Structures are given as structure tokens and as C-alpha cells.
């Protein structure tokens, strides 16, 4: 069964909540987002770009790196008391209104 974004946020919060240190500061988490995004970019480049992986580099997947990025984003949202479901709804409304006629729509068949 698929988890809601709130369930994901609650799961991450339960994990982090068991440690005295808790969440990192927003600035430290932004650095982690940047780090994980760089690792995702590296994997994308290995699989779809012109830079093959060195034999000495560990095998990883784009899915694993996306998971890392998602985890850190959830940590940041939790630490700032941001509902990612609400943030998603807000951005979807913005894109639907702003970009309603931006691209060629597929015709119904």
C-alpha cells in the first residue's frame, strides 16, 4: 500500500525523534540536500550521460539517490514544520494555472 506524504513525514520524524541530536539546522540540511543532489546528478550522468562509472566506484542506483534526496527534504520540512502535502498542493495549483496553455496538450482518443 502506498504511503501518503504525511505518513512519510511521520515515519522520518519517528526515526529522527529517537536521537538526542534531533534534526540538523536548516543550513546544515541545505548542505545535505546539495550533497545528495550532487550524488543523484552523478548517477544520472553515469547511466544516461557520457561519463561511465569507474570500475573502482561502488554500484548505486538512481532510485537509491532519489530516496536519499527525498529523505533529506522530508527532514528539512519536518524541522521547519512544513507539510509537504500542503506544499505540493500549492505548487500544483500554481503550475496548473500558470502553465495551463504553455505546452501542447495531448488530444483525447
- Dump pLDDT digits (tens) for 13-41: 999 999 999 999 999 999 999 999 999 99
CA-CA distance, 30 to 36, in Å (whole number)?
10
Task: With respect to residue 91, please indicate whether it lies within any of the assigned structural domains.
Answer: yes
CA-CA distance, 72 to 31, in Å (whole number)?
10
- What pTM does this model have? 0.86
Task: With respect to residue 71, please indicate whether it lies within any of the assigned structural domains.
Answer: yes
Task: With respect to residue 94, please indicate whether it lies within any of the assigned structural domains.
Answer: yes
Task: With respect to residue 54, please indicate whether it lies within any of the assigned structural domains.
Answer: yes
Structural domain tally of the chain?
1
pLDDT at res. 50: 83
Domain harbouring 46, CATH code = 1.10.287.1080
CA-CA distance, 100 to 96, in Å (whole number)?
5
pLDDT at res. 101: 84
CA-CA distance, 80 to 25, in Å (whole number)?
10
Which residue range forms the structural domain that includes residue 44?
5-98
Task: With respect to residue 109, please indicate whether it lies within any of the assigned structural domains.
Answer: no
Task: With respect to residue 107, please indicate whether it lies within any of the assigned structural domains.
Answer: no
CA-CA distance, 105 to 73, in Å (whole number)?
31
Amino acid at each position: 500500500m502506498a504511503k501518503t506524504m504525511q505518513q512519510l513525514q511521520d515515519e522520518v520524524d519517528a526515526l529522527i525523534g529517537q536521537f538526542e541530536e534531533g534534526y540538523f539546522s536548516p543550513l546544515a540540511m541545505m548542505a545535505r540536500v546539495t550533497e545528495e543532489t550532487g550524488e543523484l546528478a552523478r548517477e544520472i550522468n553515469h547511466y544516461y550521460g557520457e561519463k561511465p562509472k569507474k570500475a573502482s566506484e561502488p554500484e548505486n542506483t538512481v532510485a537509491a539517490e532519489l530516496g536519499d534526496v527525498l529523505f533529506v527534504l522530508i527532514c528539512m520540512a519536518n524541522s521547519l514544520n512544513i507539510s509537504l502535502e500542503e506544499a505540493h498542493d500549492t505548487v500544483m495549483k500554481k503550475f496548473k494555472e500558470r502553465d495551463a496553455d504553455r505546452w501542447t496538450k495531448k488530444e483525447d482518443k
